[in-house]
Structure 1
Amino acid sequence: MARRSDHSREELQRLIVLEGHKHMAEVGFARFSAREVAKRIGYSVGTIYNVFGNYDRLILAINTRTFALWAAFLRDRLDDIAGDRIRALVEGYFNYAASNANLWMAIYDHRLPPDEPMPVADGEQRAELTEIVVSEIARVLPATCRDQAPRLARSLIATVHGHCAFALNGSFALMGEQEPVAIALDRVREALGITNPGPTSLQQDPTSS
């Protein structure tokens, strides 16, 4: 079993976030346990709070790692796309959420206390995901209105997120909707004025099985 002297503070921070991320993926936010993470890495729970300050900062760090992996996932997906990049972006949003449901939902289940601001480094890391969307939206907008891309991106992220959440929590299934990815993509295309995206075909809905 590891002892405190075995790792520097920076090494401990990385170790805790990595193991905490694995634990969150397994059990979700409601069943997440800092004590379980401490047990897995061979340290006391007091060590975890000494490194991160409190429980909220620990969850924040774990969720920020999810954002980083999500952004990397979308970049890799877009790197392989020569055609309909908006389709790839929407599908990628759904695919990552469906494949990492506990991690994805933990981002939105956790809230920092009102008097605790988001650390700058975490905010910058999380903003990378939005920047990917802004960049892709700007690509399809006329040059005269590309300055509207950031505002439009935020709105479309909310639209796709809502569809994704309804798909994962079963709400769409209760309403009889079988193609949540397709209808989310339709709403995005409508907002962007895309009427002829090309001959590519929609991938199988990742939320259906």
Structure 2
Amino acid sequence: MGRRSDHGRDELRELILSTGQQVMAEGGYARFSAREVAKRVGYSVGTIMHIYGNVDLLVMAINSRTFALWAEWIEARLEGVKGRERIAVLVRGYFDFAACHANLWAAIYEHRVPEGLDMAERLVAERVRLTDIIRREVGSLLPDGGSDRVARLTSSLIATVHGHCAFALGGSFALMGEVAPLELAVARVMEVLQANCAALDA
């Protein structure tokens, strides 16, 4: 029935996680189930619960891995890019990742972490890596690059880009007659950075 002796605990954890991410990528959060993951890995649902604790913890691990994938995606696109174009790459990278991995991207925002359920530090680290990259890039352009204000500005810029991206993918911009949502998002980000004295001339 299963392959319970085929993998050690760490191997099994990785197998469940990678398979779970594949299931999420194919069907999205609404159709995600531990039963489907169990079916594909050849173990029981009980085994998955023994390894991860519950479905929420498994989804949290999958979403954290998606953040890690996203961060690598962005870093790869920043290589060799200089000056203000790096900001445009960040915005474009947000849109491109969401479009290419729509179900994984959506699952990050569709899953609500239950109150009282703590997230492991390693998962938190995977999630904040993307924000740290953006904060690094924003901070490099501002005169007070290491200040708390930069952190708050970064959060606001991420929210701005996310809103534009969500409207674009969801069809809301099309209904408004907007045909270039990516360019619109880049323009808004540049305007905010310029208003905050960013060095955008390079």
CA offsets 1:74-94 (integer angstroms, 9 cap, x no match): 010101313410001100011
Change (3 A) 1:14 1:114: same
Structure 2 SS opposite 1:6 = coil
AA partner of residue 43 (structure 2): Y
Work out whether 1:171 is the aligned partner of 2:172: yes
Which stretch of structure 1 is more off in the superposition, 75-84 or 18-27?
75-84
Q: Which runs of 5+ in 1 are unaligned?
A: 199-209
CA offsets 1:98-120 (integer angstroms, 9 cap, x no match): 10000000000001111212222
AA partner of residue 167 (structure 2): F
Distance 2:64 2:199 in 1: 36
The size of the alignment, in residue pairs, is: 197
Distance 2:162 2:191 in 1: 16
Structure 2 SS opposite 1:88 = helix
Identity of aligned residues (%): 55
Change (3 A) 1:168 1:174: same
Distance 1:53 1:196 in 2: 48
1:85 aligned residue: 86
Work out whether residues 17 and 62 of structure 2, in 8 Å CA contact, stay in contact via their aligned partners in 1.
yes
Work out whether residues 29 and 106 of structure 1, in 8 Å CA contact, stay in contact via their aligned partners in 2.
yes
Structure 2 SS opposite 1:59 = helix
Structure 2 SS opposite 1:5 = coil
AA partner of residue 121 (structure 1): R
Cα-Cα RMSD: 1.6
Structure 1 residue runs of 4 or more that deviate by more than 3 Å after TM superposition:
194-198
Work out whether 1:64 is the aligned partner of 2:60: no
Change (3 A) 1:2 1:136: same
Distance 1:74 1:126 in 2: 14
AA partner of residue 30 (structure 1): A
1:1-209 equivalence runs, <5 A: 2-83=2-83, 84-142=85-143, 144=144, 146-147=146-147, 148-193=149-194
CA offsets 1:54-91 (integer angstroms, 9 cap, x no match): 01001011111100000000010101313410001100
Distance 1:114 1:81 in 2: 41
Distance 1:151 1:103 in 2: 26
Distance 1:28 1:102 in 2: 5
AA partner of residue 79 (structure 1): E
Q: CA deviation at 1:35?
A: 0.7
Structure 1 SS opposite 2:81 = coil
Structure 1 SS opposite 2:116 = coil
Work out whether residues 20 and 62 of structure 1, in 8 Å CA contact, stay in contact via their aligned partners in 2.
yes
Distance 2:21 2:105 in 1: 11
1:206 aligned residue: none
Q: CA deviation at 1:121?
A: 1.4
Work out whether residues 2 and 44 of structure 2, in 8 Å CA contact, stay in contact via their aligned partners in 1.
no
Distance 2:175 2:119 in 1: 36
CA offsets 1:152-174 (integer angstroms, 9 cap, x no match): 11110011011111111111111
AA partner of residue 98 (structure 1): A
